[in-house]
């Protein structure tokens, strides 16, 4: 039977801990007990951990000295940053969860012109919830670490928060036909197999507003299409992330 995996909040030698709400879920909801064993992601490795002490805000583990699994070298897999425009929270958060399960490395919520004003106002207060979503999705999908999810930024601030190694930046544009030369996402990425840091920008419902796409292109982003059909924003984000990871592997 596969053990449930937890991503440690604290690691010190052969000890690890979950704290706060993270611990409360294990203690209150799952009713864990001292002596139970789980897989614990601790930095670059996964180790078997046995609960030694438990309370509603802290669960401590004793870790096996031998790692069960080691994370591959960073260069072994591509890293995808998803710049995702803010749209209706239930669908946006579903996209955040699924892109985390697929393997996105970083998510940047973006304030676009077509992002509803009340959602933009509320977005800053959702950051902690988004961090919890990516952590839980990472544990469910057995990742060793959750992707970074930044605080919301304006579109013109996106480049400033991208990782330094993001050499390829692709914006999804509904106005492009997939029949155009080089317009398909895979066609753009496959010749760039050595670019392990790639950024994808996905607009809100209705797509990018007038001027936003041209600004991105002027800033060095490359426009791509996912095909002839118009996808919902959350579908586009998931499909683009999966295609990008597959094209770069």
Q: Identify the weakest region by mean pLDDT among 68-82, 120-134, 162-176.
A: 68-82
Q: What are the tens digits of pLDDT across the range 79-128?
A: 899 999 999 999 999 999 999 999 999 999 999 999 999 999 999 999 99
Question: H or E segment at 135?
Answer: helix 117-140
| CB distance 231 to 238 below 8 Å | no
CATH 3.30.465.10 for domain 74-248, yes or no, is no
Q: Which residues of 129-156 are buried (b: 16+ CB within 10 A; e: fewer)?
A: ebebbbbbbbbeeebbbbbebbebbebe
| Alpha helices for 63-102 (secondary structure H) | 89-102
Q: Kindly list the domain boundaries of the chain, sorted by start residue.
A: 5-70, 74-248
The residue whose two tokens read 């010749």 is: 191
Q: What are the tens digits of pLDDT across the range 21-47?
A: 899 989 888 899 999 999 999 877 889
Q: How far is Cα 140 from Cα 20, in angstroms, rounded to an integer?
A: 19
Topology of domain 5-70, CATH: Ribosomal Protein L25; Chain P (2.40.240)
Q: Identify the weakest region by mean pLDDT among 18-22, 69-73, 172-176.
A: 69-73
Q: What is the pLDDT of residue 4?
A: 86
Q: What is the pLDDT of residue 117?
A: 94
């Amino acid at each position: 039977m596969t053990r449930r995996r937890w991503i440690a909040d604290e690691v010190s030698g052969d000890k690890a801990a979950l704290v706060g709400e993270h611990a409360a879920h294990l203690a209150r909801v799952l009713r864990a007990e001292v002596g139970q064993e789980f897989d614990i992601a601790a930095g670059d490795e996964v180790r078997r951990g046995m609960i030694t002490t438990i309370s509603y805000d802290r669960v401590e583990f004793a870790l096996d000295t031998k790692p069960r699994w080691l994370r591959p070298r960073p260069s072994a897999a591509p890293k995808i940053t998803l710049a995702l425009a803010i749209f209706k929270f239930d669908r946006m958060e579903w996209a955040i969860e699924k892109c985390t399960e697929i393997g996105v490395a970083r998510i940047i919520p973006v304030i676009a012109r077509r992002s509803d004003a009340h959602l933009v106002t509320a977005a800053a207060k959702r950051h902690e919830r988004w961090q919890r979503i990516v952590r839980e999705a990472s544990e469910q999908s057995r990742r060793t670490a959750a992707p970074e999810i930044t605080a919301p930024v304006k579109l013109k601030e996106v480049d400033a928060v991208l990782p330094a190694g993001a050499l390829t930046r692709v914006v999804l544009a509904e106005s492009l036909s997939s029949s155009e030369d080089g317009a398909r996402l895979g066609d753009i990425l496959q010749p760039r197999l050595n670019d392990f840091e790639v950024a994808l920008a996905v607009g809100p419902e209705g797509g990018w507003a007038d001027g936003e796409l041209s600004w991105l292109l002027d800033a060095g982003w490359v426009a791509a299409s996912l095909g002839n059909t118009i996808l919902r924003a959350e579908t586009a984000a998931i499909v683009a992330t999966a295609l990008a990871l597959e094209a770069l592997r």
